[in-house]
Amino acid sequence: MGIIVQKYGGTSVGNPERIMNVANRIIATKEKGNSVITVVSAMGDSTDELLALANAITKNPSHREMDMLLATGEQVSIALLSMAIKEKGYEVVSLTGAQAGIYTDNTHKKAKITRIDNRRLKKEIDAGKIIIVAGFQGKTESGEITTLGRGGSDTTAVALAAAIKADVCEIYTDVDGVYTSDPRLVLDAKKLPFVSYDEMLELASLGALVLQTRAVEYAKQHNVKVCVRSSFNNNEGTIVEEGSVMEKIRLVSGVAHDLDVAKITIYGVPDNPGIAGNIFRGLADNAINVDMIVQSNPRGSINDISFTGHNEDKDKAMEIIDKLTPQIGSEGVKVRGNLAKISIVGAGMQSNPGVAASMFEALAKAGINIELISTSEIKISCILELEKAKIAVQVIHDKFKLSEIED
Amino acid sequence: MGIIVQKYGGTSVGNPERIMNVANRIIATKEKGNSVITVVSAMGDSTDELLALANAITKNPSHREMDMLLATGEQVSIALLSMAIKEKGYEVVSLTGAQAGIYTDNTHKKAKITRIDNRRLKKEIDAGKIIIVAGFQGKTESGEITTLGRGGSDTTAVALAAAIKADVCEIYTDVDGVYTSDPRLVLDAKKLPFVSYDEMLELASLGALVLQTRAVEYAKQHNVKVCVRSSFNNNEGTIVEEGSVMEKIRLVSGVAHDLDVAKITIYGVPDNPGIAGNIFRGLADNAINVDMIVQSNPRGSINDISFTGHNEDKDKAMEIIDKLTPQIGSEGVKVRGNLAKISIVGAGMQSNPGVAASMFEALAKAGINIELISTSEIKISCILELEKAKIAVQVIHDKFKLSEIED
C-alpha cells in the first residue's frame, strides 16, 4: 500500500502481447491497493528504425531534431500500454515527459533533469488513475522536447519516484536482480537481496548493466529505494538502498568482469607537471575512453604511466601517444591487447583490511599474473590475461564465499 | 516575396527520398525570398501501422490515447524533413502542433481549432528560419494532445496561414489542381485556374477530394487564399479565393459525380408536422448518412419523401423505415440502388437563369432519365442510373463547354 513507480524496458513492451502482460503486472500492483506510476521505453526495435530513417537523410542530424524524432518512440508505447490497461477496465492516463512535468536543461540528446513539477502526477494519483509516463524524455523551460540519453528511462523512473515520494522504484529487466557475478560465467553466482547505492554504482560501471549508473546516482542523491527485478517472473529482485546492516555483513558483494581491455604503458616519463594532463587531453579530444589510469614511479624522478581502454581504440591511442612523445619526452610506449579486468565490489571493504590481499592470494594460487591494480574505497580491480578471466572470477567468487550469500 | 504556407500529404513524405524532394521544394520557395511555413502529414502508411498496433490491443481504444498514439506520425515527419533541410544548409525548426501554438477544444480524434498563439511562429520567421509544423494535431488549453480528424492537415495549413497572415496557402497533392470534371472520366476535362470558396466547397463535398471541405470552410471564413497544386511538377495549380471576376465569366465550373448512390422513396405520407423529423432522426440515430432529401406533393395533402444515401446503407435504412411505417402512416416505400449523382457547380449560376434547363436538356438529348433533382444556390444535382453516369458527365461537360476553359 503506497505509491510504486515501475519501469519497463523496450523488450518488455516489444509487441502487443507483451504490452498486455505488462498491463497485467501493473493492474496486479494496483489491485494490492497501491498507486502506480509506470515508466516505459520505446517498443523493441522502434528506436533503431527511427535512427535508420534519420540516417537515410543525413549523417549529421541536428540534435534537436533527433530528440523530436526519438521522443515519438516512447509516446507510442505509453498510448498502447494505456489502451491495454483501459481495455481491462481500469482508469489510466498516459503522459509524455513534458506532460508529466519533467523539465530538463537544453542539452539535446543527453539532457539532464533540472526539476519535476509534480502537480499533474498528484492530480491523476488523487483521481485514482494509473499513470503511464514516457521514459527517456522531458522538455526545456521553453517547451522544447529533449531526450535524456543513455539510461534515460531508468533515470526518469527514479526521478519521478523522488518527486512523488514513492515507496519504491521498481526497475523491471530481463534478469532477476543483481548477482554476485555474471551467472553465465560463475554457475554458483547468487542473487543479492540488497546492495548499497555505492556498490551498485561500482557494479554498474563495471558492466553489470541491470541499472544505469546515472539512475543509481540520482537514487542515491534523493534516497530513492530501488528494486531491480525480472519482468518475466515474480521473484523478489534486489533492493538498492542506503544501509549499514549489509555493509557489516558482506565484505564483498560481487565480482564483475570486463572482457574487452587493452593496456598502454608509457615508460620513462619525466616527472614534470602537466604531462599527464597533456596525454589524457589528447586522448579525450580524439574521443578515446580511458578507464583505469595508474602512475608508478619505479626509478625516482622518472614515471611509468599505464592506462586501459577498449581493444578497438588501442591503435588510435598509440598513434596519438606517438605524436605526443617528443613533447612529453618519454622513453617509449608499450601496448597490450586482449586483457580482462576483474573487480570486486563491496561497501564492507572500506573498514576491513585484508580484502585486497585475499583477492591477490586467490589469483596467485590459481597461477594468474596481475598486470595492473587499481583500487577505490569499495572496489578493487585487477587487469589480467583474457584467457584467465573466467577462472579468475571463479576463484575470487569462491574465496569470498559469494555462493553462500542468503537470498 | 512574402509568407507562404505549404502543406504536403503523407504520400509526398512517404520515404527518405521523397522527403529530400519536398525539402528541395521548400528551399526553392525560400530562395525566392519568401518566409516558409510547411505543414506535413504522417509518412505514407505510418498511420495505418499505428492503427494496426492499437487494433491488436483493443477494439475500442480510448480517444485520448488514440490521439497520443497518432500524433507521433506527424512528429516523425517534421523531424525527418527538418533534418533534410538542415542537411542542405538551411536554418530550420520543427514544431509539433502544440509548439506551433495550435489550441483546440477537448474533442479527441476530431478536435476543432479554437485559437492560434502565433508568437513562436513569428519568432522563428523573424529569425529567418524555415518552419516545419506537424499537421493534424494541436493541444487543449490544459496541454492534452489532440488530433483534428479527417482533413486535419489541410485545416492546420489554412489555420496557420490565417494566423500568420500568409500571402498564400499552397496545398500540395498528387493532382495538378481542381478540374472541371474527373479527368479519368472526361478526357477533355480542364484544370480550373480559379474557383471560389463556395464552388470549392460544393466540389469538395461532391467528391473532388483535392481539398478537404473543412479546410475550405476555414479558408472562406478567414479569407485565406489557397492554391491547390501538384507536388510532382511545377504547374500552376488552382487558386481558391473569393472573387467576382470568374463568377461572371463562368456559369459552371465543374461537373462532379458520386457513383455510390441508393434512393429510398416513402410515398403516401400524410402531411402532418414532425413526420420528416421522425424519419430522419431515426436514420441518424442508426448512423445512416443521408445525402439529398426531396419532398414532393403530387396529390395535395399527401407527400412523397425521397432521400439518397450509400448503397451499403440501403437495407438497414429500409428496416428502420419499415418499423416507422405504422407511426408515420405512409402508404409504402420503394428502394433503388446502383444510382449515380451527377452535379454541376458554379458560382455564376446564381444570377443566370437557364443553367438547370441546359443541364436537363443535355441529359434528355442523351436519352438519360432523371430520377431525382436537388438544387442549391450554386449547385444542381441529378440522380440517374449508374450505367449512364459516364456519358452523363461527358454530355454535361460538353454542354457547358468546360473543355474550353482557359488555364
Mutate which of A58, A92, A108, A139 to test chain B, going by most B C-beta atoms within 10 A? A58
Residues A334, A274 share a domain: yes
Q: Are residues A169 and A286 in the same domain?
A: no
Output the pTM of the full model: 0.80
Q: Are residues A243 and A282 both part of a single domain? A: no
- Residue range A229-238: average pLDDT? 88
Q: What is the ipTM of this complex?
A: 0.77
In a domain, B35, yes or no: yes
Average pLDDT over residues A289-308: 80
**How crowded is residue B351: how many other Cβ atoms within 10 Å of its Cβ?**
10
Asked whether the predicted pLDDT for residue A250 surpasses 50, the reply is yes
The last residue of one of the domains, among A227, A248, A269, is A248
Regarding whether A173 and A99 lie in a shared domain, the answer is yes
Q: Who has greater pLDDT, A255 or B129?
A: B129
Contact across the interface for A83 and B76, Cβ inside 8 Å:
no
The residue with greater pLDDT, A242 or A42, is: A42
- Whether residues B94 and A65 touch (CB distance < 8 A) is answered with yes
The total of other beta-carbon atoms located within 10 Å of residue B59's CB is 8
The answer, yes or no, to whether residue A23 has pLDDT greater than 50, is yes
Mean pLDDT calculated for residue range A26-49: 95
Which chain A residues are within 8 Å of B80, Cβ to Cβ? 53-54, 57, 65, 69
Answer yes or no: is A217 within a domain: yes
Q: Supply the pLDDT for residue B330.
A: 87
Residue A178 near residue A208 (C-beta atoms within 8 A): yes
- Other beta carbons less than 10 A from residue A377's beta carbon: 10
Q: Which of B53, B64, B99 sits opposite A16 (nearest CB)?
A: B53
Q: Give the Å distances, CA to CA, from A46 to A67, A73, A74, A191.
A: 14, 6, 9, 32
Query: Residue B145 maps to which CATH number?
Result: 3.40.1160.10
Nearest residue to B311 (alpha-carbon basis) of B279, B337, B278: B337
Q: Are A213 and A274 within one domain?
A: no
pLDDT digits (tens, 9 = 90+) for A215-227: 998 999 999 999 9
Tell me if A274 is assigned to some domain. Answer: yes
A156 near A168, Cβ under 8 Å? no
B151 or B44, which is more confident: B44
User: A23-27, A194-198, A294-298, B109-113: which has the highest mean pLDDT?
Assistant: A23-27
Would the pLDDT of A210 be above 80?
Answer: no
The C-alpha atoms of residue B201 and residue B213 are separated, in whole angstroms, by: 6
Average pLDDT over residues A356-383: 87
In contact, A201 and A216? CB cutoff 8 Å: yes
Ranges A242-251, A379-388, B344-353: which has the least confidence: A242-251
CB contact under 8 A, B86 and A19: no
Q: Pick the most confident of A301-315, A375-389, B158-172, B295-309.
A: B158-172
**Given a cut of 80, is residue B207 above it in pLDDT?**
no
CB contact under 8 A, B16 and A76: no
Closest-CA residue to A98 (of A48, A63, A148, A61)? A148
Percent of chain B, pLDDT > 90?
57
Query: Out of B57, B78, B84, whose CB is closest to A19?
Result: B57
Q: Do A82 and B65 touch (CB under 8 A)?
A: yes
**E strand or H helix that includes residue A103:** strand A102-104
**In-domain check, residue A185:** yes
Q: Return the percentage of chain A with pLDDT > 70, whole number.
A: 94
Look at residue A247 in the predicted model and tell me its pLDDT.
Answer: 47
Q: Give residue A207's pLDDT.
A: 55
- The C-alpha of B292 sits at a distance from chain A's nearest C-alpha, in angstroms, of 39
Nearest residue in B to A144, CA atom: B99
Q: Domain check: are A267 and A178 in the same one?
A: no
- Minimal Cα–Cα distance from A248 to chain B, Å? 49
Confidence of residue A67 (pLDDT cuts 50, 70, 90): very high
Q: What is the mean pLDDT of residues B266-284?
A: 82
pLDDT at B407: 56
The pLDDT, as a whole number, for residue B348 is 72
Q: Is residue B106 part of a domain?
A: yes
The confidence score (pLDDT) of residue A105 equals 95
Picking from B60, B69, B96, the nearest residue to A79 by CB comes out as B69
Does some domain include residue B343? no
**pLDDT value at position B149?**
82
Which residue, A218, A248, A278, sits at the end of a domain?
A: A248
Q: Which of A201-210, B47-56, B364-373 has the lowest mean pLDDT?
A: A201-210
Quickly list DSSP for A188-217. Answer: T--B-SEE-HHHHHHHHHTT-TTS-HHHHH
pLDDT above 60: residue A245: no
- Indicate if A272 and A242 belong to the same structural domain: no
Chain B residues closer than 8 Å to A98 by CB:
143
Same domain, residue pair A170 and A112: yes
Look at residue A148 in the predicted model and tell me its pLDDT. 94
CB contact under 8 A, B87 and A60: yes
Instruction: Give the 3-state secondary structure of residue A241.
Output: coil
Inform me whether the pLDDT recorded for A303 exceeds 90: no
> pLDDT value at position B405?
74
Q: Do B65 and A79 touch (CB under 8 A)?
A: yes
Nearest to B147 by CA among B85, B61, B231: B61
pLDDT at B342: 93
Domain that holds residue A286: 255-402
Look at residue A228 in the predicted model and tell me its pLDDT: 93
| Residues A226, A195 share a domain | yes
Query: Is residue A142 over pLDDT 90?
Result: yes
pLDDT at position A208, please? 55
Phi, psi of B106 (to 5 degrees): -90, 10
Which percentage of chain A shows pLDDT scores above 90?
Answer: 57
- Kindly state whether residue A407 falls inside one of the protein's structural domains: no
CB A361 within 8 A of CB A331: no
Averaged over A255-263, what is the pLDDT?
A: 91
pLDDT at B1 (0 to 100): 66
Is A21 found in the same domain as A54? Answer: yes
Give the confidence band of A186 by pLDDT, cuts at 50, 70, 90: confident
Which residues in chain A touch residue B139, judged by CB atoms under 8 angstroms apart? none
| CB pair distance less than 8 Å for A83 and B20 | no
Least confident stretch, A215-224, A240-249, B186-195, B298-307: A240-249
Same domain, A36 and A164: yes
At residue A28, φ and ψ (nearest 5 deg) are -60, -40
Among the partner residues A57, A93, A143, nearest to B83 by beta-carbon distance: A57
Same domain for A281 and A195:
no
CA distance B161 to B227: 12
**A94 and B61 in contact by Cβ < 8 A?**
no
Q: Please tell me the predicted confidence (pLDDT) of residue B351.
A: 66
Under an 8 A CB cutoff, do A58 and B84 touch? yes
Mean pLDDT, residues B227-242 taken together: 90
Contact A278, A304 (CB under 8 A): no
Report the CATH number that the domain containing residue A267 is assigned in CATH: 3.30.2130.10
Chain B contact set for A60 (CB, 8 A): 87
Contact B139, B101 (CB under 8 A): no
Question: Over the stretch A31-40, which tens digit does the pLDDT of each residue have?
Answer: 999 999 999 9
Residue A63's closest chain B neighbor by CA? B83
Evaluate if residue A407 carries a pLDDT over 80: no
pLDDT value of position A198: 85
Q: How many domains does chain A have?
A: 2
- What mean pLDDT comes out for the span B330-359? 85
Contact status, residue B53 vs residue A79, Cβ threshold 8 Å: no
Q: Which of these three, A213, A248, A283, is where a domain ends? A: A248
Is the pLDDT confidence value at A239 over 90?
yes
Among B21, B62, B92, B117, the residue to mutate for chain A (most A Cβ within 10 A): B62
Cβ neighbours of B61 in A, within 8 Å: 83, 86
Summarize the confidence of residues B146-155 as an average pLDDT. Answer: 89
pLDDT (mean) for B87-110: 96
Split at pLDDT 50, 70, 90, the class of A118 is very high
Determine, yes or no, domain membership for A168.
Answer: yes
